[in-house]
Amino acid sequence: APPFAESIGPIVPDVSLDRWSYGAIESCIRNGMAQPLFEAPIYNEDGSMSVPLDQNIYPTKPITRGELVAILYAGKDKFFVEAPEHIRNMKFNDISGHRFEKEIIDMANRGVINGYPDNTFRPDKEITRAEFVVIMNAFLGRCDAKKINEKINVFKDVYEKDWYYYDIIEAAVNHSYREIDATNVWIKPLTEEEVRQYIWW
């Protein structure tokens, strides 16, 4: 993970210095990938997004598919060396006029995100952990998990029949993870601070 910026104190009111996700949230803010979820966010001189006007990140609030895409779009230049050679012409029938329409189209054309069989993207739907892992694997250009030894599977609620199985296995290789003693954790909503932590892990 990129080194965290030297802490100079709480950067937003609702994230304390001792919160487990503080370092990741701080780094996202300092690197222009702050919470782009509010109607009137603040922009830095270089065009990057800064802290929202109400000065809160709401770290435990579930994040939507559109919100995640907006965060990744804000940091795409830090991860993509160059634009993809072949741009896909992806179209969704439920994003016209959406506040993150531009970001969704860009990430779809880069091959980072896909929609549902009914040609929707459902930008306001809360994203699950499984969906997040699939998107992050694409965003980071990670390899085909089918080539990985499946014995790496350490999660008791991830099965080969699951559509996200190989993405979860791949994401667990040479990456740290938090053990969650629960079942079906991968289909539960992901929170703001979990997104920040995983992006900068």
CA gap 26, 41 in Å, rounded: 17
The answer, yes or no, to whether residue 165 has pLDDT greater than 90, is: no
Which of 91, 86, 103, 133 has its CA nearest to residue 33? 103
Mean pLDDT of all residues in 67-76:
87
The answer, yes or no, to whether residue 117 has pLDDT greater than 50, is: yes
The reported pLDDT for the residue numbered 150 is 56
The reported pLDDT for the residue numbered 160 is 79
Give Cα 147 distance to the centre of its chain: 24
Q: How many CA atoms lie within 13 A of 164 on its CB side?
A: 21
pLDDT tens digits for range 80-106: 534 555 556 678 999 999 989 999 998
> The whole model's pTM is what?
0.67
Give Cα 18 distance to the centre of its chain: 23
61's enclosing H/E stretch is none
Mean pLDDT of all residues in 72-83:
68
Q: In Å, what is the CA distance from 27 to each residue of 31, 133, 177?
A: 6, 20, 19
CA gap 198, 56 in Å, rounded: 20
174 burial class (0-12, 13-18, 19+ CB within 10 angstroms)?
exposed
The reported pLDDT for the residue numbered 110 is 84
Which of 6, 38, 42 has its CA nearest to residue 22? 6
